[in-house]
Amino acid sequence: MADRQIVLDANILIRATLGARVRRLVERYAAEVEFFAPDDAFTGAHRYLPGLISKRQLDPNLAMDVLDRVSAVVHELPVPFYGAREASARARIEIRDPDDWPVVACALTLGCPVWTEDLDFFGCGVATWTTDRVELFLAEET
């Protein structure tokens, strides 16, 4: 079991699929850090990726293969795992974006930070890391 854990939101899953920086960070630290995402983050990534892939004129099969590779490293958490924290998570994020409650609930359940680029998470009482700073957390010595 890895020493550190972090929850990824759908935006980070999408960035890992379409870009190199996030994917490299996930792959580089997969042995030392456990990456998690709620099941709805994977659903969101699958929902938004086809439009983004088309807009960027990328090969859809290649992009989905990359998402599958990322999904092999990021543990998908089902609602029964984090659902007990729904009320607390909603109270923390509802005003900004109620659809993000599963990410907050996962972070509360695991007691770990969130990796996001979504400003809605800031101020919800859960530590957040953005891609430009997350390597400080990922590389920490424990």
In this prediction, residues 66-73 reach a mean pLDDT of 88
Domain ranges of the chain: 4-138
CA 65 – CA 62 distance, rounded (Å): 5
Q: Class for domain 4-138, per CATH?
A: alpha beta
Q: Are 35 and 113 in contact (CB under 8 A)?
A: no
Q: Residue 2 pLDDT more than 90?
A: no
- The strands making up 74-77's β-sheet, listed across from edge to edge, are 74-77, 33-38, 4-8, 114-115, 128-129
Task: Give the predicted TM-score (pTM) of the model.
Answer: 0.91
Residues 118-135 have pLDDT tens digits of: 999 999 999 999 999 999
